[in-house]
Structure 1
């Protein structure tokens, strides 16, 4: 299997390119070429919806039949939506889920594809699209907010450590069942979780599949604030609307000051996580664990 990694030396070059991009932020966020109407929306996506209102770009994960699980196509579409949001006139970007779930994580039918197709090519695609999305979140130039409206599983939890704000409904839960599935942490969580919540709690969550309630996730720093479910959408959107009245260039540059120090480290961690995942995704214990998951599911 071909690895998707780069050598550590190339991180230096990539980081320098990012530094160059930082100097372009004022031009990017002040561009008037992509003005949006107050309530305009995009319909050219199959797995997500994108709306532009109140100077905010809202990306909605929408695969209700799969509890908003990430298919290969969804990974690509969220990445494309982030690319567009980075260049539009919005002040900040928010990601949320449609219906009762934020996201049930990686669609496990993705992981079974290597059994049916070319192992090397399919593994490259699966790990590649996830890695690309994680890198885009790391590099996203504007404030990035998660509105966690319900359960968040796997990648939907781990990637939250890269967001600038995480607001959660009281009904939200957070679970990373990697060990149960013969998988490993991703989304830079092997670095961000110990940093955010401490080594012991991160070990419980990432290795031993501990599910956090919204309040528990808030108490350990993964969630910024928890809201009553009945008023979650209204309260959070009112707050975000106020944030969006702030100068967008100021916010973007301030975020760079806060985040740029660790960008190189985050890209390095992301690379190492996906090197391991690429090697392990077709291991016997990983495949057996996923098969057992589907067997249990079929008996329900």
Structure 2
């Protein structure tokens, strides 16, 4: 049952539920002071309910389900730890092992409670949702529109706004909506201390049953679509960089129309360190913006820039003291938003139109190269080394 469940399609649904259950505590019903534990019959019923789930609740929840099922049926983890290269079984082993010595009965109750939460209807269907409902239905970002400005807020502060597969999809959806709404400007910023820490680590470990090669191809296509949304975005797009930016959060800035940063922000694209190659059209935009030698320091040799350095090189438009950053930037943005909307949009499209075809070609080439890199032994060893280093911290 548990292994088969890992093949469910529809990976970007029921994420509201995901958040509720990632750290789900044991739920015990009390009657006359005695804790009620799920019976074997209730456990079997929950297993059958799981089979009726139409949408994929996400990998973290599936790992939780797997771990609780194993704990409830076999007890504490008793199998050898898989190798680092066996990403899927390593993730499953870690999830099971993390339950420690929780008794079978308690794991059974947690399993039943989790399945009940998943099968409960929590999210309205698209036909029932209003435009406002759609905007509020995002799980990894927050989208608001007021005073002629649509703001896309990266909203995973506990993960330093790392971009998961779900977040990639939601940002693309938000950009599509913003392109069609009545706003004059679109602003992207982050919640918490980070702007964005780049790719979520689960993007690399979640191989799935399709295998590494197909996973790499799928990831390449996802990245290609993601970057294309920035290339084709028809309105002024402004980055408000509230903290450190890493990886794709940095490289994509070359496609923004203006970038404002706090003096506490840093910019780091450690591609060669991870055995990878540039993306976000940065192999074209960075040399164009700052010159080849300066771009090489960043894209080839992993140089981390301060906000002041990024501004000096032309990647950032203006830097503000952190204490007054939000006040000064939004004062500027509200002034921009009062400018004639169509004039801004048409002017942006003229500027972008000159090289749009070139940018799409660069994006395709970068993604093709990245797929090759992800499948290389060099890249695999670099990523494994990174994970090993992280596990020791």
Give the TM-score taking structure 2 as reference length.
0.65
Aligned equivalent of 1:29 = none
- Which residue of 283, 290, 295 maps to 1:197? 290
Query: Is the partner of 1:132 in helix, strand or coil?
Result: helix
2 CA distance for matches of 1:95 and 1:102?
9
2 CA distance for matches of 1:204 and 1:88?
39
Give how far 1:154 is off: 0.4
2 CA distance for matches of 1:89 and 1:295?
48
Aligned equivalent of 2:313 = 220
1:240 aligns with 2:333: yes
Give how far 1:252 is off: 0.4
**Larger radius of gyration between Structure 1 and Structure 2:** 2
Query: Is the partner of 2:166 in helix, strand or coil?
Result: helix
Query: Is the partner of 1:125 in helix, strand or coil?
Result: helix
Aligned equivalent of 1:88 = 181
Give how far 1:143 is off: 0.1
1:143 aligns with 2:236: yes
Query: Is the partner of 1:222 in helix, strand or coil?
Result: coil
Aligned equivalent of 2:268 = 175
- Which residue of 94, 98, 102 maps to 2:191? 98
Structure ranking higher on relative contact order (CA contacts 8 Å, 6+ apart): 1
Query: Is the partner of 2:153 in helix, strand or coil?
Result: strand
How well do the aligned residues superpose, as a CA RMSD in angstroms? 1.6
Give how far 1:234 is off: 1.2
1 CA distance for matches of 2:364 and 2:210?
25
- Which residue of 140, 147, 170 maps to 1:47? 140
The unaligned stretches of length 5 or more in structure 1 are 1-35
2 CA distance for matches of 1:239 and 1:163?
16
Query: Is the partner of 2:355 in helix, strand or coil?
Result: helix
The unaligned stretches of length 5 or more in structure 2 are 1-130
2 CA distance for matches of 1:127 and 1:67?
23
- Which residue of 154, 163, 176 maps to 2:247? 154
Query: Is the partner of 1:114 in helix, strand or coil?
Result: coil
Give how far 1:124 is off: 2.5
2 CA distance for matches of 1:150 and 1:66?
13
**Cα deviations by residue, 1:33-56 (Å, 9 ceiling, x for unpaired):** xxx99xx99320111000111110
